[in-house]
Amino acid sequence: MRASYCRTASGVLAALALFAMAAGCSRGKTKAAGRPGAASYGRPSSCQANLKAIATATVMYSVDYSRLPQAARFTDFWGALGPYLKLQTQGVSMICPETRQRYLLNTAISGRQMASAANLPMLRDAAPHADGKVYVAYPSGIVMQVLPTDPRLAGCTFK
């Protein structure tokens, strides 16, 4: 009983530490208002922040269930993560606030164990942003911006 409790407690602590690190990384300086291209330095876009919250919820889910959610569509995936998203923050959306399109799920990761899926793309934008790039989230919690033609996205089944 004690070993089981220790594994669960350490998993919960790991998930909380990951969330704390994600929250700490979102602080930074912004460009002066009114300047052309008033994007921010060190602060994630709202799309990136959405995907980071979803990826962090996925980590918490995998700690509890020892696998990723079983889902054939993003809406099923979203439903499985619902309780974990409510624990984190309000305002997380399944639609990119910048492209106004729903995120796409790589169905190849459905139900897999975290260790075998951590380096596979999990979610991506359905359409490129103004700079021609898409945000991609990994089950490990990493979110990055890449070109839609990036080789890491090849062979993925996004729905």
For the segment 66-108, what is each residue's pLDDT rounded down to a tens digit? 999 998 888 888 889 988 887 555 667 888 989 999 999 999 9
Is residue 29 situated within a structural domain? no
- Domain residue limits at 144: 2-23+45-153
Strand order in the sheet with 104-105: 104-105, 123-124, 134-137, 143-146
Distance, in Å, from the CA atom of 150 to the CA atom of 138, rounded to the nearest integer, reads 14
In this model, does residue 29 exceed pLDDT 60?
A: no
Is residue 50 situated within a structural domain? yes
pLDDT on residue 103: 92
How many residues comprise the chain?
Answer: 159
Are β-strands 104-105 and 134-137 bridged in parallel, bridged antiparallel, or unpaired? unpaired
pLDDT on residue 36: 36
Is residue 15 situated within a structural domain? yes
pTM (2 d.p.)? 0.69
Overall number of domains in the chain: 1
In this model, does residue 112 exceed pLDDT 70?
A: yes
Is residue 158 situated within a structural domain? no
**pLDDT above 70 as % of the chain:** 69
Is residue 108 situated within a structural domain? yes
Residue 85 to residues 18, 105, 131: CA-CA distances in angstroms? 14, 17, 28
Distance, in Å, from the CA atom of 50 to the CA atom of 38, rounded to the nearest integer, reads 20
Is residue 100 situated within a structural domain? yes
Is residue 69 situated within a structural domain? yes
pLDDT band with cut points at 50, 70 and 90 for residue 126: very high
Is residue 31 situated within a structural domain? no
